[in-house]
Amino acid sequence: MQFYIQQTLNALQVGSVYALIALGYTMVYGILTLINFAHGDIFMISCYVAFFFSTLVISVLAGLPPLVVFVLTMLVSMFFTALLAVVIERLAYKPLRTAPRISAVITALGIGLLLENFMVAFKPVGPAPRFMPELIPNVIYNIGGVAVSNIQIVIIVVSIVAMVILDLIVRRTMVGMAMRAISWDKFTVPLMGIPVDRIISLTFALGASIAAVGGTLYGMAYTIDPYMGIRIGWWAFISAVVGGIGNIRGAMLGGFILGFVEIFTPVFLPASTYRDFVAFSLLLVLLIFKPTGLLGRPMVQKV
Amino acid sequence: MIAKLWNRWKLQLILLLVLVLTILLPAVGVIDDYINLVLKYIGINIILTISLNLVNGYMGEFSVGHAGFMAVGAYTASLLTVLVVPEALNPFLFPLVIIAGGVVAGIFGLGLAFPSFRTRGDYLAIVTLAFNMIIKSALENIEAIGGPRGFMGMSKLTSLFWVFIWVVITVWLARNFIFSNYGRGVQSIREDETAAGLVSVNTRQAKVLTFVFSAFLAGIAGGLFAHELQFINPRSFTIAKSTDMLVMVYLGGIGSLGGSILGATTFTVVSEGLRSLLQVLGISQEWRQVFAPLMLILLMLFRPKGIMGLREWRFLIPQLDRKKEPPASKPQPEVAS
């Protein structure tokens, strides 16, 4: 029993990171019907921003309390990642908005690979995995035989808070209303005086900064390397599709489902190397039988 | 009389001449091992590009998983060479082994054709991508064929001669397919699937045919690739490989065999040239990996048509079609909405 509670906790920890990244995929898809394949690598960049910034802060301003360093790191990572996403959107996606949709998808794929290969080739980063400096001293509590670390709690709580905030932004604010309006009807919305370009940029920025929240949290618990954009990014992407791409609550649900798949696959199958196999088979089966995902609305093709 | 004969047989004659040259030149030593290798890569890449162009260019669907088919072909052919075919018979049964690799890849292609009935565009891209990941993941988990370490022991059977023959066969098959009734059906799916169905194009049949044929060609290329490198591992067949193929297709131009040949050749030559350039400049070879995605992005932004999108070399168009308006003068149809 304790074993399963422990694993459930681990699944929640991994799943919340997936959910945070999946939100970025799903928001951009909702507004532009573009699969932003570069999003996983934007998440990877956010980890590196957090890594370099926290190393710098800890070495330069040694006396700061851990909480301040943690919050500062997260904010800086969010800011720079959002900036990168907006730059990418302006330079690469915006010129293709009127082009056939596939062109933009191919470009996104190219940008993802470009970011990844750039980070591998770029000397200060390199392909070697790295550890982020300890932002919060790791404490492990033992509750009835279940080991719970404070980092685990921070990851789960901060992710859920971030998701709630994002959900509120999308559902309760004018900006969120504009986003939903654009995803509903792209052609009428500009006539209502909504600055479409700005809202789209804002969507990219929001998606990237919530991925940066995930990136900072992820870096606190695991090692980071340039290839994680593919590994983690794809899992998050599957989460978005499983939940129904374009649906924000679906992305959250999908993230946690994938977290459980990742943690419980080694429990029921002989080796953890089957994880990718299980996840992608799940994706394939779902796409064949219910292409719109668990919470997605079916799209009707108009002739 | 002579002129008439020349006109009828010139293509075959030129091909025969080149075929003889592919045996002679490496044997005499006019082209060294490195150039020989690059030429073989060009050939393999041409087959791959035509294979992907059938799905992405002619049918207007979007596959990102062709490296998966290539992997299936490579592993099938390699396993046959090493485990089944006796050592002495290897050089003679090589074409059959390659065909077997293609056929098995084709069967996988059949499997992937079914999802394409229900989904199009983005979702099909995801399906093919998932397929690629599943193949790679499965290969990594089968210990019997080396798992993540890869598989080796094939003798170096891929010669320039065989690569050239396979390229000619590929181009010939693809041309005949594209200009057949089925091929026109396939192209009508690109323009408008619903309309194609209305004028009684059997869209399902067209999709199955294209996917199987395309996968078959990718499998052939995989087999040739495996017997050139004599070592394959699952990491050779990732999304990065699929991206290289995408670059070649879009560089050459969609819906064009001539474009596929040009695109694959240009990409391979530039990529190899970059290797020497980086070596001379003393820059790490890892920067070479940055080049392909960058080229893909720039192509999409500034010249989405590629070198010769939707146009064709004259000699690749069957006689009966040549008298018509050249396709280039038609208004460019929008590809894949």
Domain membership flag for residue A246: no
Identify the band that residue B337 occupies on the pLDDT scale cut at 50, 70 and 90.
very low
Domain membership flag for residue A154: yes
pLDDT in tens, B284-331: 888 888 888 998 899 989 988 888 877 888 888 887 777 655 555 455
pLDDT at A278 over 50: yes
Taking the Cβ of residue B240 and every Cβ of chain A, the question of whether any pair is shorter than 8 Å is answered with: yes
Domain of B289 in residue numbering reads as 28-329
Q: Which two tokens stand for residue A163?
A: 């998701």
Domain of A127 in residue numbering reads as 2-228
If you compute the radius of gyration of chain A from its CA atoms, what whole number of angstroms results?
19
pLDDT at B2 over 50: yes
Identify the band that residue B222 occupies on the pLDDT scale cut at 50, 70 and 90.
very high
**Which one-letter amino acid corresponds to residue A205?**
A
Domain membership flag for residue A288: no
Taking the Cβ of residue A271 and every Cβ of chain B, the question of whether any pair is shorter than 8 Å is answered with: yes
pLDDT at position B209, please? 94
pLDDT in tens, B36-72: 999 999 999 999 999 999 999 999 888 888 999 999 9
Average pLDDT, stretch B179-185? 92
More confident residue, A266 or A46: A46
pLDDT at position A80, please? 96
Contacts of B289 in chain A (CB under 8 A): 117, 120-121
Nearest to A117 among B293, B300, B335 (CB): B293
Q: Which of A88, A109, A230 to substitute to test the interface with B, most B CBs within 10 Å?
A: A109
Average pLDDT, stretch A24-36? 89
Answer yes or no: do A101 and B336 touch at CB < 8 A.
yes
Number of domains in chain B: 1
Domain membership flag for residue B3: no
Domain membership flag for residue A22: yes
pLDDT in tens, B255-286: 999 999 999 999 999 999 999 999 999 888 88
Domain membership flag for residue A251: no
Answer yes or no: do B293 and A114 touch at CB < 8 A.
yes
More confident residue, B43 or B32: B43
Number of domains in chain A: 1
CATH code of B153's domain: 1.10.3470
pLDDT in tens, B202-215: 999 999 999 999 99
* Distance of alpha carbon A33 from alpha carbon B239, whole angstroms: 22
Q: Which two tokens stand for residue B87?
A: 């050592």
Letter string b/e over residues B56-74, b meaning 16 or more CB atoms within 10 A of that residue's CB: bbbbbbbbbbbbbbbbbbb
Domain membership flag for residue B74: yes
Nearest chain A Cα distance for residue B193, angstroms: 10
Answer yes or no: do B336 and A106 touch at CB < 8 A.
no
More confident residue, A302 or A92: A92
Q: What is the overall mean pLDDT for chain A?
A: 89
pLDDT over 90 for what percent of chain A? 49
Taking the Cβ of residue B117 and every Cβ of chain A, the question of whether any pair is shorter than 8 Å is answered with: no
For every residue of chain A, which 3-state class applies, written as one string? CHHHHHHHHHHHHHHHHHHHHHHHHHHHHHHHCCCCCCHHHHHHHHHHHHHHHHHHHHHHCCCCCHHHHHHHHHHHHHHHHHHHHHHHHHHHHHHHCCCCHHHHHHHHHHHHHHHHHHHHHCCCCCCCCECCCCCCCCCEEEECCEEEEHHHHHHHHHHHHHHHHHHHHHHHCHHHHHHHHHHHCCCCHHHHCCCHHHHHHHHHHHHHHHHHHHHHHHHHHCCECCCHHHHHHHHHHHHHHHHCCCCHHHHHHHHHHHHHHHHHHHHHCCCHHHHHHHHHHHHHHHHHHCCCCCCCCCCCCCC
Query: Would you put residue B336 in left (φ > 0), alpha (ψ -120 to 50) or beta?
Result: left
pLDDT over 70 for what percent of chain B? 96
Taking the Cβ of residue B107 and every Cβ of chain A, the question of whether any pair is shorter than 8 Å is answered with: no
Q: What is the overall mean pLDDT for chain B?
A: 88
Nearest chain B Cα distance for residue A102, angstroms: 7
Taking the Cβ of residue B138 and every Cβ of chain A, the question of whether any pair is shorter than 8 Å is answered with: yes
Residue indicated by tokens 């695109």: B263
pLDDT in tens, A55-89: 998 888 877 888 888 999 999 999 999 999 999 99
Q: What is the ipTM for the molecules in this complex?
A: 0.86
pLDDT at A300 over 60: no
pLDDT at position B27, please? 85
Contacts of B123 in chain A (CB under 8 A): 287, 291
Contacts of B287 in chain A (CB under 8 A): 121
Answer yes or no: do A117 and B290 touch at CB < 8 A.
yes
pLDDT at position A137, please? 83
Nearest chain B Cα distance for residue A44, angstroms: 16
pLDDT at position B335, please? 52
Domain membership flag for residue A264: no
